[in-house]
Amino acid sequence: MDIQTEPLDAYMVTWQVELEFGGMTTVCLQRAAAFAERYGHASVVTFNADPAYEVVLQSLRERGKLSEKVRHVNFYEHLAAHPLKPQAKLAAAKFVPEHTGFRAAFSNTYLDSDTATFSEQSYAGPEKEVERKSYFRRNGTVYLTDTKFPSGGTERRLLEVVNESGAVTARFASAAALYRYWLSELVDHEHSLVVVDSKFSAKFLSAWNTVHVPKLFAFHSTHVKAGQNLLTGALADGHAPMIEHRAKWDGFVFLTEAQRNAYVARFGDAERTFVVPNPIRQGSIQPPLPQRNPAHLIAAGSLTVNKNVAASIKVVAELKKRGLEATLNVVGQGSQLNALEQLASDLEIRDNIVFHGYSDQVPRHFAASAIQLMTSTNEGQALVLIESQQQGCVPVSYDINFGPADSITDGHNGFLGPPRGHHRDGGQGRGVDPRPGAGGAHVGQREEIRRGLGQPGHRSPVDQNQGRGSQAQEVRLPREARGIHRGSAGHGIP
């Protein structure tokens, strides 16, 4: 097969793509765009039920988040518009609900229609113990019923796919089994490739047996828990199932060579592991360009526990104690918002912290700030570090597994410091102060922050070549991956 001339159908698989999303989805969409540029087309596949699907899709394209060359295939939308291949043998349901007198409770319409029903929720039984969700085509016919009910002391599930005539053509006892059946019909053909980005989706796709298409999983963060030794430490909860069942995957994709090396040193499988850095697009800013404020810091990313934005807030409190008034711009949203707002109030710096929420203008925020604080406990590549460097915003980051050391040359285009309690390799640390720049071994880093806050127009010597995840690198994967599918000559997986 000549990879330069023959076509490739590349599918990026994730659970959902919403109007507002974080780094993992950004990478998924950008990688799909890279494959589309190389091969003329690519697809993003999602599984969530969303009556706003068409509206979301249009918005993503208008905002430049989803390439016109990338097809977005959603399970529900596709099943509504395309008949599913009937099962070769339609077996009778092993378990059925005791009650079937369903009463409709509520329904949703397609967001772009006032009349077309998207789904309907109904119940049966004296205690509403049987729950059914029916999904409708735009012409009003049902294409899928999803019934949950108790049977024999166990919660059961029955999903039935229905054709235009009302006949059941496929029947499943779990949503995962239906997803796998549908995905096989969609993607399992020659000259194709699947990269699964979502940990949630990967859990039910581990058991997916394919005939032709190589099935790869992409690690977007470290595979061990924060602070754990890379060779012996506990595996990260989200990644443990894939690693423990690695024989069911054709390959793993890592964002950095450092993480791949760490994985191979512990688990082997060198021939089935690949490094594909995040694709990086030059962040463009439309005029008028913002004025950089030397007293403005920025923390950008999802407000989740592992992003550890609390440490960035504590930096501002420490600076204030030292007589330096700084403003921290927190760009992102997530479950930790209320806790972070309370922390800022408790430290009496609430007026110094600006919570912007989600923004699709992150480059503009970086261009307006002097220093980026990256205090995550774990990462995969830390795309935001490269994005900040592109805008001349100096990144100051914990030297964690993995990513910061791949993007930052300490003292040249940013600064690295060890987090409290552990080193980057997972060994026991020395109880380092949890504030970037506070440790005695990083006086130069602390003084750089001081100078940045005190001198207008401060800029870092940004290395514009740090964005290693170019589109050219992104499309190298198929060349290597095509030969490692389970059962292929010379590279079969036991």
**342 CB-contact burial (10 Å; exposed 0-12 / middle 13-18 / buried 19+):** exposed
Instruction: Report the Cα 208 to chain-centroid distance in Å.
Output: 21
Is the preceding peptide bond at 419 cis, omega within 30 degrees of 0?
A: no
Band of residue 360 on the pLDDT scale cut at 50, 70, 90: confident
Q: Give the separation between CA 288 and CA 125, rounded to whole angstroms.
A: 62
Please give the pLDDT value at position 25: 86
**In this predicted structure, which of 116-125, 307-316, 460-469 has the lowest mean pLDDT?**
460-469
* pLDDT at residue 277 greater than cutoff 70: yes
Q: How many CB atoms neighbour CB 248 within 10 A?
A: 16
pLDDT, tens digit, 9 for 90 and up, residues 161-189: 999 999 999 999 999 999 999 999 999 99
With 90 as the cut, is the pLDDT of residue 32 above it?
yes
How does the average pLDDT of the chain come out, rounded?
83
Q: How far apart are the first and last CA of the chain?
A: 25
β-strand partners of 215 = 194
Work out the burial of residue 92: count CB atoms within 10 Å of its CB; fewer than 13 is exposed, 13-18 middle, 19 or more buried.
exposed
How many whole angstroms separate alpha carbon 328 and alpha carbon 353? 5
The alpha helices in 368-469, defined as continuous H runs, are 383-390, 404-407, 443-454
Average pLDDT over residues 5-24: 85
Given a cut of 50, is residue 428 above it in pLDDT? Answer: no
Q: What is the pLDDT, as a whole number, of residue 278?
A: 73
pLDDT at 475 over 70: no
Question: What percentage of the chain reaches a pLDDT higher than 90?
Answer: 61
| Burial category of 177 from C-beta neighbours within 10 Å (exposed 0-12, middle 13-18, buried 19 and up) | middle
pTM of whole model > 0.85? no
Q: Would the pLDDT of 438 be above 50?
A: no
* Of the candidates 412, 411, 434, 409, the residue with the CA atom closest to the CA atom of residue 421: 434
Predicted confidence (pLDDT) per residue in 234-260, tens digit: 999 999 999 999 999 999 999 888 889
Q: Which amino acid is at 73?
A: V
What CA–CA distance (Å, rounded) separates 225 from 227?
Answer: 6
- What residues are paired with 246 via a beta bridge? none
Per-residue pLDDT of 133-168, as tens digits, reads 999 999 999 999 999 999 989 999 999 999 999 999
Q: Are strands 130-136 and 168-172 parallel, antiparallel or unpaired?
A: unpaired
Is the pLDDT at 458 greater than 70? The verdict is no
Q: By C-alpha distance, which of 320, 366, 362 is closest to 460?
A: 366
Residue 280's pLDDT is: 66
**Strand, coil or helix: what is 23?**
helix
354 class by beta-carbon count within 10 Å (0-12 exposed, 13-18 middle, 19+ buried): middle
Higher model confidence: residue 45 or residue 383?
45
Question: Which comes out higher in pLDDT, residue 227 or 445?
Answer: 227
Using alpha carbons, select from 135, 144, 143 the residue that is nearest to residue 117: 135
Residue 443 has pLDDT above 70, yes or no: no
For 62-80, letters b (16+ CB in 10 Å) and e give: eeebbbeebbbbbbbbbbb
Q: Which amino acid does the sequence have at 301? A: G
The confidence score (pLDDT) of residue 400 equals 81
CB atoms near residue 2 (< 10 Å): 5
